[in-house]
Amino acid sequence: MLSKSETDYLSADLSDFFELMKPRVMRLVIFTTVVGMVASQEFIHPVIAIASVIFIGLGAGAAGALNMWWDSDIDSMMARTDKRPIPSGKVKPEDALYFGLFLSVLSVMMLGLTANFLAAFILGFTIWFYIFIYSIWLKRATPQNIVIGGAAGAFPPVIGWVATSGNIGLGSILLFLLIFIWTPPHFWALSLFSHSDYHRANVPMLNVTHGKPHTRLQILLYTLVLTLISVGISFSSLGGIFYFICALILNAYLLYLAIRVYYQTEQVSLGLKMKYEKKLFLFSISYLFVLFSMILLEALIDRFQIASVNFQLTSIFF
Q: Are residues 32 and 113 in the same domain?
A: yes
Taking the C-alpha atoms of residue 172 and residue 179, their distance in angstroms, rounded to an integer, is 11
Reduced to 3 states, what is the DSSP secondary structure of residue 250? helix
- pLDDT tens, the chain, 318 aa long: 444 555 455 567 889 999 999 999 999 999 999 999 999 999 889 999 999 999 999 999 999 999 999 999 999 988 888 899 999 999 999 999 999 999 999 999 999 999 999 999 999 999 999 999 999 999 999 999 999 999 999 999 999 999 999 999 999 999 999 999 999 999 999 988 876 778 788 888 898 899 899 999 999 999 999 999 999 999 999 999 999 999 999 999 999 999 999 998 777 777 777 788 999 999 999 999 999 999 999 999 988 875 445 555 555 555
- Residue 265 is assigned to a structural domain of this protein: yes
Write down the pLDDT at residue 1.
46
Q: Are residues 160 and 188 in the same domain?
A: no
Q: Are residues 198 and 115 in the same domain?
A: no
Taking the C-alpha atoms of residue 196 and residue 96, their distance in angstroms, rounded to an integer, is 27
Taking the C-alpha atoms of residue 191 and residue 194, their distance in angstroms, rounded to an integer, is 5
Q: Are residues 161 and 187 in the same domain?
A: no
Domain boundaries, position 107 = 10-168
CA angle 184, 187, 191 (to 5 degrees): 125
- Write the CA distances from 263 to 223, 269, 281, integer angstroms: 14, 10, 17
Contacts of 197 (CB under 8 A, 6+ apart): 77, 78, 79, 80, 81
Q: Are residues 271 and 282 in the same domain?
A: yes
Q: Are residues 114 and 187 in the same domain?
A: no
pTM of model > 0.85: yes
Q: Which of 122, 141, 168 is the last residue of a domain?
A: 168
